Amino acid sequence: MTKILDILFSFKTTLILLAILAIGAGVATFMENDYGTSTARVLVYNHWWYESILVLTTLNLMGIIYRRKMWKQKAKFLFHSSFVLILIGAAVTRYAGYEGIMQIREGQTQNLMYSLEPFLQVNIKEKDGSSYYAEYPIELSALGGNYFNHDINFNGKTLNVKFNKHMYAKKGKNDMSILTIEATLNGQTKAIKLPGKRGVKGVPKIEDFGDTILSVEYGSKLLQLPFSIKLNDFQLDRYPGSMSPSSYASEVTVFQENGKSYDYRIFMNRTLHQGNFLFFQSSYDQDEKGTVLSVNNDPGKWPTYLGYFFLTLGLVLNLFSKQSRFWILANKMKDKNIASLVLALGLAFTASNLQAAEQQAQNTQATQQTQQPMVKEYDTTEEYIEMLKKDSLELATKFGTLTVQSGGGRMKPADSLNQEILLKLSGKKSMFGLNADQIVIGMISRPEIWRGVKMIKITTPRLKNYLGIEKKRKYIAFAEVFKDGKYILADEINKAVATKPAQRGTYEKDVIRVDERLNVAFMTFNASLFNIFPTPHDFDSTKWFNPVDAMQKFQGKAQKALETMIRGFVNTIILEDWENASKYLDFIYAYQRKVGEKIIPSEQEISNEIMFNKLDIFPKLTLAYLFVGFIMLITAFVVVFNPKIKPKKTTLVAFIVLSILFAAHTFGMGFRWVVAGHAPWSNTYESLLYISWSGVFAGVFFFRKSLFALSAAVIVAAIFMFTAHLTSIDPQITNLVPVLKSYWLTIHVSILTASYGFFGLSAIIGFMTLVLFIFRKNRPHLDETIKHITYINEMSLIIGLSAITIGNFLGGIWANESWGRYWGWDPKETWAYVSIVVYAIVIHLRFVKSLNNPFVLTTASVLAFSTILMTYFGVNFYLSGMHSYATGDPVPIPTWVYVTTTLVFVTIAIAYKNRDLKA
């Protein structure tokens, strides 16, 4: 018995159990992506084997807590025991709780809901009038064997119902899967096909067995609540001038069992709590006259919340406890300032039919030429551009201050839209010595010139060859894709779009992108992107119009006044009468301020965004990080391989330079927050900026006395900043989807995403350490350097693991307050969980004697970062989920992933021969 307990309560068992949990959950996300949620639940999440591993892990943890007498160290005991409490709460919710869907129409009172779990429901009706009912919870998998066999005894008879076969409906289809059962009664067997799936009411099938009528269905069942809810009003708010929901809410009255009632407003991030039931605003009917509420009966809420509290408290205290591993490592480094700056962590965290379009453009231009005065003709395009350079800057700057309504309803300065247009067309923010405002004004006023300007980006040689242009060309002109009035790319774009996203190569992608750019150019020529005119008929209207639509839809004096402003502005630019053009701009500006005063941003807000655009902080920082990181990395290796060089002054200079870059980065993040009106980590671009920031934060505040750590911090920042500015990632500021309108966005995402910076720092330090391992033979001074930066590596891992754990479980609270459940095995949250488990394994490797050495920790810290890359990038591009607010279609794995992976494993293999360095 003692030997069994020794095995059960050993750290080797801990690592094995954690590895099984991580691998199982990771594999399940791919199962779910390919074969549906039910398959992942049946084969992994809700299967006895996975739950058994969770139980064994809990017992293992309890045994280790007891054997190591963790209660003597309060912080360590708090956060380790909290996992036991969280798992107990999760078990109570799992086995005693249930979820469902309630639909209510306006004016209707409802006390019924459909279960989320699927049931096989059997209704038996005898000819003598007696009836019987039986139900069995059954969830079916697309993989493996599904089997059940039930005997239902009634009125002296036995009905046998057993599984025959299950036909799975492919993921992404609305069709239900088909369950076929065999029903046997009085020696007669019938095969019954039942369409159904999880979360949807089944379709009843009726069979006549002579004196017995059998009704069977597979799917959600009706559940009755001990209270009722009346929907008084459903309200849907959209972003100004957009069909995108800003928020939606249900005004309800709850009628309790005791006869009392109360009114409540349910909306995103505000859940109705009634007893153990939680009601979340999930969706709504298409006619906007009914609501769809997610319902969750959650008896395990408070044990779980208490566990979350102890977890957070324990992990925070652990960073301050002088008995903790973190402080032990700090003392080994003899750098008291590092440990004393842990407080800064908490402070920081709180803190495409173009052919018709072209013909239309040509007709419009011909009409304009018959109506407009004679305009100046230029011998060359260069001559025209020189004129714009010289004369148009002041007017273009004023044009940028106009307010524009985006397709998503965001109100922003025209300056932002102009930059987005030019960036989309060319990948640049200025060209030909002209800024975006000047170029867009030119495109609107003289499209006949700009259709011939080479400014539309093209990349693949194959597409260039198809268009008949030189391979060295980087840009094409709008007019080059038309020949004899036909759009040359029409057939190619149709083929590219018809190709599955995962099978599109660089050529297909380039065709699609060029087509998009051509469409943007055309819409700029006719100003259809510029929704700058609010409607004068109703000052409360939120819809703004572009010049052409406004002239067509407005009536009477408003239409005449508007036409005068628009034609006057365009004609004066064409005639290069900049002074009068400026006056017309003043008229348009005044019109916006007067008629659109309900939703137009203040002059200060417009000014702030224009200033933010002009500063263009982050692309400049990217270049700075790349340059400084390269210099610091070379310097760090020179210093370490030449012990005669005193690193103190070099490190101080590096720290000062990095502090300046960090201050600029912090200012830029704060400025974007002010401009956007929400925390700058709500989409892919912003979160990459934030991860870069957290990586530099780790270096500056925690490891500033290590040149290796500082150089690694800069490299982390450079990599993520460079990724953020790839052409496939959109940097524009957007409105938030309703569920992200919560203070939890700031808390959960900031802490969770910051951990990626520390893990990135750890991975870079680890790779640099592997390089040192390769060269440590006959260089004994490298051993101390390796040990020193391994301490830094482990400290970074501890902070990162603490942050990702706290952030993930705080996200559980947000989910419970927003979705009515704190864990749903969504791919994003599942891979965050996998990351936590993997890094917990890395941190605890030292408790196994044979694994307690710098080489193992270093290698593990590098390999473990693959889980973070999967959580952040992989899930977004390869797996579906409710966290994918700003993701794209699945794409093939990039070549750089294979190259990087090969480089890492080759480095590990070469370093392996010199691994014998004691801890």
Residue 397: DSSP 8-state: H
* Distance from C-alpha of 167 to C-alpha of 218, rounded to nearest angstrom: 13
* Distance from C-alpha of 558 to C-alpha of 551, rounded to nearest angstrom: 9
Say which residue the tokens 């800069």 belong to.
714
* Distance from C-alpha of 8 to C-alpha of 449, rounded to nearest angstrom: 79
pLDDT tens across 282-336, in order?
Answer: 888 888 899 988 888 878 778 888 888 888 888 888 888 888 888 888 777 654 3
Distances (CA, A) of 618 to 423, 487, 686, 729: 15, 38, 10, 14
Is the per-residue pLDDT at 422 higher than 70? Answer: yes
Q: Supply the Cα-derived Rg of the chain in whole angstroms.
A: 32
* Distance from C-alpha of 79 to C-alpha of 59, rounded to nearest angstrom: 16
**Closest C-alpha among 210, 133, 219 to residue 176:** 219
If DSSP codes are grouped into helix, strand and coil, which group holds residue 194?
strand
- Average confidence (pLDDT) over 375-402: 88
Least confident of 114-118, 155-159, 240-244, 595-599: 240-244
Q: What pLDDT is stored for residue 150 in this prediction? A: 92
Q: Which tokens sit at 632?
A: 């610091």
Is the per-residue pLDDT at 816 higher than 90? Answer: no
pLDDT tens across 340-357, in order?
Answer: 333 333 333 333 333 443
Helix (H) or strand (E) holding 438: helix 436-445
Q: What percentage of the chain has pLDDT greater than the value 70?
A: 86
What mean pLDDT, rounded, does the chain reach? 82
Q: What pLDDT is stored for residue 112 in this prediction? A: 92
**Closest C-alpha among 515, 518, 388 to residue 451:** 518
* Distance from C-alpha of 388 to C-alpha of 669, rounded to nearest angstrom: 34
CB 330 within 8 A of CB 795: yes
Residue 600: DSSP 8-state: P
CB 191 within 8 A of CB 216: no
**Closest C-alpha among 502, 460, 468 to residue 488:** 468
Higher model confidence: residue 555 or residue 726? 555
> How would DSSP label each residue in 515-559?
HHHHHHHHHHHTTTT---EE-SS-TT---EE-HHHHHHH--HHHH
- Average confidence (pLDDT) over 880-900: 57
Q: What pLDDT is stored for residue 882 in this prediction? A: 46
pLDDT tens across 650-690, in order?
Answer: 888 888 999 999 999 999 989 988 888 777 766 778 878 88
Is the per-residue pLDDT at 826 higher than 80? Answer: no
Q: How far is CA 618 from the centre of its chain?
A: 20
* Distance from C-alpha of 634 to C-alpha of 711, rounded to nearest angstrom: 9
Angle, helix 854-869 to helix 750-774, in steps of 10 degrees: 140
**Band of residue 6 on the pLDDT scale cut at 50, 70, 90:** confident
- Average confidence (pLDDT) over 119-135: 90
Is the per-residue pLDDT at 860 higher than 50? Answer: yes
CB 829 within 8 A of CB 813: no
Q: What pLDDT is stored for residue 109 in this prediction? A: 94
**Closest C-alpha among 855, 852, 801, 847 to residue 12:** 847
3-state secondary structure 693-735: HHHHHHHHHHCCCCHHHHHHHHHHHHHHHHHHCCCCCCCCCCC
CB 651 within 8 A of CB 710: yes
> For the chain, how long is the longest CA-to-CA vector?
102
Q: What pLDDT is stored for residue 836 in this prediction? A: 93
Q: What pLDDT is stored for residue 832 in this prediction? A: 87
Q: How far is CA 41 from the centre of its chain?
A: 23
Is the per-residue pLDDT at 274 higher than 90? Answer: no
Is the per-residue pLDDT at 865 higher than 90? Answer: yes
- Which stretch, 375-384, 526-535, 859-868, has highest mean pLDDT? 859-868
Is the per-residue pLDDT at 106 higher than 90? Answer: yes
**Band of residue 173 on the pLDDT scale cut at 50, 70, 90:** very low
Those residues with Cβ within 8 angstroms of residue 701's Cβ, 6 or more apart along the chain or in another chain: 341, 344, 345, 348
Those residues with Cβ within 8 angstroms of residue 617's Cβ, 6 or more apart along the chain or in another chain: 664, 665, 667, 668, 671
Q: What pLDDT is stored for residue 243 in this prediction? A: 54
pLDDT tens across 234-260, in order?
Answer: 988 765 555 556 678 899 999 998 889
Which amino acid is residue 223, in one-letter code? L
Q: What pLDDT is stored for residue 559 in this prediction? A: 81
The values of phi and psi at residue 318, to 5°, are -60, -30
Q: How long is the chain?
A: 919
Q: What spatial distance separates the first Cα and last Cα of the chain, rounded to whole Å?
A: 33
Q: What pLDDT is stored for residue 737 in this prediction? A: 52
pLDDT tens across 696-740, in order?
Answer: 888 888 877 788 788 888 888 888 888 777 756 667 766 555 545
